[in-house]
Structure 1
Amino acid sequence: MATQPNILFIMADQLRADYLGRNGHPTIKTPTIDALAAKGVNFTKAYTQAPVCGPSRMSFYTGRYAFSHGATYNNVPLKLSEKTIGDYLRPLGYRVGLVGKTHMKKDVEGMQRLGVDPESSRGVLLSECGFEPYERDDGLHPDQAVSPDLAYNNYLRGLGYDGHNPWHEWANSGEGENGEVLSGWYMRNCHLPARIPEAHSETAYTTNRAMEFIRESADAPWCLHLSYIKPHWPYIAPAPYHDMYGPEDVLPVNASEQEKANLHPVIEAFMGHDESMNFSREEVRQRVIPAYMGLITQLDDHLARLFAFLKEIGQYDNTLVVLTADHGDYLGDHWLGEKELFHEASARIPMIIHDPRPQADTTRGREDDRLIEAIDLVPTFVELAGGDVPNHILEGRSLLPLLTSGEVAQWREFAISEADYAWRKARFALDLAPDQTRAIMITDGRWKYVHYEHFRPQLFDLQQDPQEQQDLGQDEAHADQCERLEQALYDWYRQRKMRTTVSNAAVANMTGKAHARGYLFGLW
């Protein structure tokens, strides 16, 4: 065991926490992830800081809430002043690389203002969220936006797949009976196998590139953010995963007419989106969910291949492995599609960590139900690497004590998740201005409270109503819980870490020393 273990930070885009065998799904096959949990710690109450790709990932990478880092939605630039994983680990001797997706939007205006060349070594790091972009691929390539130098497209072209956009035309489309290309963008086609062999798929290619990065990083400790695109849409899988599951594997939808009887205005507005109306139809769920499950099992199989590679080169027992997701997927639950709101299907995420060090032996196989947040990973990595955790910046807490002894004097009482839906059509239905669309969730593990600007709150009792079917936000009998959690939310706002340029240690060292430094104010 090296003094600085490697870090393999795996994220699967849009992977629901409950779509793993270890987490209770009755038919899905995820033996590799399940075995990882059996050898590590499975945090069963982990929450994303924002249930949509961009802001969630910016919180994962900065260790700060969306309120603090400001990149509150997809394609909102992360400001240059925000430090990320690479800024913390690179000075400690780590090679910090990316293979896959970040959904990070660079702060072009900030770089222009400071005269930073985006093509310089510093500019590239600032443009790629602090990662060395060994292979950046966000997996979102409509024809009108496809990059001519997308590495995966070039890879496919090198294998003989033609067309303007092989990512779409081959890897994310199927074929009709007469050989016509049927786009995976349309969910009616997701039962078809992708037009490429499994070995050429995005998940296989991404795994190959991860192994190449690891193979090239033998001379120093490394942190690799391996960020898989799937099971995010387009929901289409290569054979044999496309029909590995069928309608019999589709769990009953978690939606009821009772919910519609007391609709919150924001929920009702989101129910009017195309994805929600379509996922509310059982024929759509019966077609999409088997493909979604197939993509998850494909991911699991490639993780088995990756872990076997690490063992082969002698690095598995020297590598901390994290398996998580940026958010979940409604899949029709609560009459909704996509994510963005705060039901468990959307805001709760898988969080499995295998710490290979001997001091973690006592916690192996543990299921830990303490509240975990995405922002906890950065301080965990910094402490593991032997660095000083900058507590005046980072808003998460290191998980190392929970991975080793499992004992901490006091853990967090609440978990937070935030939303900014200014870009969504729901805003028009609600007649809101772009700066009126904030929502925030706070939970203590039992009670979940959602504050919406300009609208009434929601309240759910996760103990008595784990399916979140009964909104108690207007129930006078639960007014005290609403008041308690609203106050806790106010307290949370007051505790945000805004003084990020001077450490707490520096402040402590300077406190009360003005006279010693020659500033003789107030003396007689």
Structure 2
Amino acid sequence: MAQAKNILFVMFDQLRWDYLSCYGHEHLHTPNIDRLAAKGVRFDRAYIQSPICGSSRMSTYTGRYVHSHGATGNGIPLKVGEMTMGDHLRKAGMDCWLVGKTHMRADAEGMARLGLAPDSLIGVRVAECGFDVFERDDGMLPEGPDGSYDPDGAKGFNEHLRAKGYESDNPWHDFANSGLDADGNVLSGWFLKNSDQAANIDEPDSETPYLTTRGMDFIKQADGPWCCHLSYIKPHWPYIVPEPYASMYGPEHIQPVNRSDAERQNAHPVFKAFMDTKVGQTFSRQDVRDAVIPAYMGLIKQADDQMGRLFDWLENTGRMEDTMIVLTSDHGDFLGDHWMGEKTFFQDASTKVPLIIYDPSSEADATRGTVCNALVESIDLAPTFVEVAGGAVADHILEGESLLPILRGARTETNRDFAICEYDYSTSPLVDRLDVSVKEANIYMLTTKRWKLIHPMGGFRPMLFDLESDPQELVDLGDSPEHGDILDQMYDHLLAWSARNSQRQTRSTAQINAMRGASNGTGVMIGVYGEDDAPKRATIKYRDRTAPDWRDRHGKKAGPKSE
């Protein structure tokens, strides 16, 4: 019988769920990713746990909600002690390796407090989100007057480019993410007006092919069982792509924008603040969408071609027969929908992601090519991988649930009634604009299959969408008196979620069950009046015992009790 021995966990950065042809895009054809969907299960309601790179990934890697792991945004370290996918998989006998991006920030203070040397094996794993690192490439090397956002960004990739002859102090920017005019001037990809330029790089040398090659390099030398997190940088901005992809799409291939004038005019104050950011205002312009979206589509088309290269190689080497392949994204991209850019709000353009899982196991034959409508969260991947590795899911730590029963036809739904997504915008200028404190700068999203609640802290009213009658999420019902009962139900869900036990991580459910009443045989007698009020076995150490009388050791007998 075919069986999944290894796991190839592919994640793209900022890939919208509806920008693949298997999810319905009219003009962007992605036959290779579609091919994977035909071999596996395509999930139509997969939600991330935070609409920003760092905290979304930390949820995926820990299998825990942001509220639990505490790494609430980019630059917020994952605290020492949080177990990750790698910790759980190694316990089950499976190695866990990284090729690409994590956006992990190490808890350097916590490591120093505990004496964890950064160059020790455990120190490296703690600093790298539990992965052993084949190559880390967070793919970002921007530079400004105050230095670089990530001095270690694109390190291996820049070395690769220099070895190829791309001479620059930052070839990541000057070649891979910029165009070139007729006079040899660099046209920076950071400026959206240059998105319609072709990146000044030979396409096989660019980031997506490079990481595909590095993933294949890892698999060639790997001894199983292994999990390889092949984590791509694109189609995340800068939005610029080399030829032939730069010329593949034009404004005529852009899908209609999803927004309305009424949505903007009647916007909730928090929603309006996000619309009014610089990126929101910019992506509300059609000329910006006309420049950016064809490049975004080109980046996705390039990614699909690289998936074809990778899948063909896996098939030709026989590895497709024992490797589970999971393909997803860390969040989406508004691209002007709802008058916003970027991803830091809660409509499906941002919070719903593609999720396709191919399981080579014979048990999965019945579900090949099917579509699952279950509510799924990114935190479900870690327990799924643990089950594939043959381990026991630590359900007192991992807050998701394994998807193997769905993949193998035993179930069609998860056990959850709702999915959760959280965003902490405390490091954003929006804190001042909305006049909230750092502790209040949190927004929670709770979605069922029918309804979506967005709850901003800070005393603001909720937002509510009916996903059945308004799948475009254009009509906010949060202040509708007719929907008071629905709001009550959604808040009941939110209360139940917030009151869950997520911090008891040092004892499993089985251990807790075993502890119940375990002290009864250890001599602890609480509330027992006499020896005959407890089982004889429990009091055996206290019966039929003698001892010399030491009460008058110094000849001072106690007198009679006073009347």
Instruction: Calculate the TM-score normalised by the size of structure 2.
Output: 0.91
Shift of 1:255: 1.3
Question: Aligned to 1:469, what secondary structure does the other structure show?
Answer: coil
Residue 222 of structure 1: aligned partner: 226
What amino acid sits opposite 1:78 in the alignment?
L
Inter-partner Cα distance in structure 1 for 2:178 and 2:501: 45
The worse-fitting range, judged by mean Cα deviation, of 9-18 and 407-416 is: 407-416
What amino acid sits opposite 2:522 in the alignment?
R
Shift of 1:133: 1.3
What amino acid sits opposite 1:388 in the alignment?
A
Shift of 1:187: 0.7
Shift of 1:148: 8.7
Q: Is the 8 A contact 1:47 1:373 kept in 2?
A: yes
Inter-partner Cα distance in structure 1 for 2:356 and 2:193: 33
Residue 463 of structure 1: aligned partner: 468
Inter-partner Cα distance in structure 1 for 2:501 and 2:305: 41
What pairs with 1:71-470 in structure 2 (closer than 5 Å)? 71-143=71-143, 144-145=147-148, 146-147=151-152, 150-217=155-222, 219-407=223-411, 411-454=415-458, 455-470=460-475
Question: Aligned to 2:521, what secondary structure does the other structure show?
Answer: coil
What amino acid sits opposite 2:52 in the alignment?
V
Residue 483 of structure 2: aligned partner: 478
Inter-partner Cα distance in structure 2 for 1:261 and 1:173: 37
Residue 492 of structure 1: aligned partner: 497
- What CA RMSD, in Å, does the superposition of the two structures yield over aligned residues? 1.3
Inter-partner Cα distance in structure 2 for 1:133 and 1:510: 39
1:80–1:170 distance in 2 versus 1, CA, 3 Å: same
Q: Is the 8 A contact 1:515 1:521 kept in 2?
A: no
Shift of 1:468: 0.7
Shift of 1:410: 6.3
1:487–1:148 distance in 2 versus 1, CA, 3 Å: closer
Instruction: Calculate the TM-score normalised by the size of structure 1.
Output: 0.98
Inter-partner Cα distance in structure 2 for 1:134 and 1:230: 19
Residue 39 of structure 1: aligned partner: 39
Q: Is the 8 A contact 2:134 2:218 kept in 1?
A: yes
Q: Is the 8 A contact 1:45 1:369 kept in 2?
A: yes
Shift of 1:3: 5.7
What amino acid sits opposite 1:294 in the alignment?
G
Residue 541 of structure 2: aligned partner: none
1:406–1:278 distance in 2 versus 1, CA, 3 Å: farther
Inter-partner Cα distance in structure 1 for 2:125 and 2:528: 50
What amino acid sits opposite 2:318 in the alignment?
G
Shift of 1:149: 8.3
Question: Aligned to 2:231, what secondary structure does the other structure show?
Answer: strand
Inter-partner Cα distance in structure 1 for 2:260 and 2:501: 38
Question: Aligned to 1:349, what secondary structure does the other structure show?
Answer: coil
Shift of 1:272: 1.8
What amino acid sits opposite 2:138 in the alignment?
D
Inter-partner Cα distance in structure 2 for 1:385 and 1:324: 20
Question: Aligned to 1:456, what secondary structure does the other structure show?
Answer: coil
Q: Is the 8 A contact 2:45 2:376 kept in 1?
A: yes
Shift of 1:2: 6.9
Inter-partner Cα distance in structure 2 for 1:93 and 1:513: 31
Residues 183-242 of structure 1: CA distance to partner in whole angstroms, max 9, x if unpaired? 00111101111111110000010000000000010x321100011000000001011011
Instruction: Give the unaligned 5+ runs of structure 2.
Output: 530-563
1:485–1:32 distance in 2 versus 1, CA, 3 Å: same
Inter-partner Cα distance in structure 1 for 2:158 and 2:291: 27
What pairs with 1:508-519 in structure 2 (closer than 5 Å)? 508-519=513-524
The worse-fitting range, judged by mean Cα deviation, of 395-404 and 149-158 is: 149-158
Residue 534 of structure 2: aligned partner: none
Q: Is the 8 A contact 2:78 2:106 kept in 1?
A: yes
Question: Aligned to 1:370, what secondary structure does the other structure show?
Answer: coil
Inter-partner Cα distance in structure 2 for 1:496 and 1:50: 20
Q: Is the 8 A contact 2:4 2:323 kept in 1?
A: no
Question: Aligned to 1:435, what secondary structure does the other structure show?
Answer: helix
What amino acid sits opposite 1:233 in the alignment?
W
Q: Is the 8 A contact 2:43 2:371 kept in 1?
A: yes
Residues 236-269 of structure 1: CA distance to partner in whole angstroms, max 9, x if unpaired? 1011011111100111111111102211111111
Q: Is the 8 A contact 2:154 2:172 kept in 1?
A: no
Shift of 1:74: 0.6
The worse-fitting range, judged by mean Cα deviation, of 262-271 and 13-22 is: 262-271
Inter-partner Cα distance in structure 1 for 2:236 and 2:94: 30
Identity %: 52
Q: Is the 8 A contact 2:98 2:133 kept in 1?
A: yes
1:149–1:493 distance in 2 versus 1, CA, 3 Å: closer
Q: Is the 8 A contact 1:272 1:426 kept in 2?
A: no
Q: Is the 8 A contact 2:4 2:361 kept in 1?
A: no
Shift of 1:515: 2.3
Shift of 1:330: 0.2
What amino acid sits opposite 2:491 in the alignment?
E
Residue 505 of structure 1: aligned partner: 510
Question: Aligned to 1:515, what secondary structure does the other structure show?
Answer: helix
Shift of 1:409: 8.0
Inter-partner Cα distance in structure 2 for 1:274 and 1:62: 33
Shift of 1:67: 0.3
Inter-partner Cα distance in structure 2 for 1:166 and 1:229: 16
Inter-partner Cα distance in structure 2 for 1:148 and 1:397: 33
Residue 57 of structure 1: aligned partner: 57
Q: Is the 8 A contact 1:273 1:425 kept in 2?
A: no
1:237–1:149 distance in 2 versus 1, CA, 3 Å: closer
Inter-partner Cα distance in structure 1 for 2:40 and 2:318: 19
What amino acid sits opposite 2:38 in the alignment?
A
Inter-partner Cα distance in structure 1 for 2:2 and 2:128: 28
What amino acid sits opposite 2:393 in the alignment?
V
What amino acid sits opposite 2:90 in the alignment?
R
What amino acid sits opposite 2:60 in the alignment?
F
Inter-partner Cα distance in structure 1 for 2:387 and 2:365: 18
Inter-partner Cα distance in structure 2 for 1:462 and 1:138: 35
Give the length in aligned residue pairs.
Answer: 523
Q: Is the 8 A contact 1:8 1:319 kept in 2?
A: yes
Inter-partner Cα distance in structure 1 for 2:527 and 2:520: 10
Q: Is the 8 A contact 1:363 1:406 kept in 2?
A: no
The worse-fitting range, judged by mean Cα deviation, of 82-91 and 394-403 is: 82-91
Inter-partner Cα distance in structure 1 for 2:389 and 2:3: 8
Q: Is the 8 A contact 1:99 1:135 kept in 2?
A: yes
Question: Aligned to 2:520, what secondary structure does the other structure show?
Answer: coil
What amino acid sits opposite 1:41 in the alignment?
V
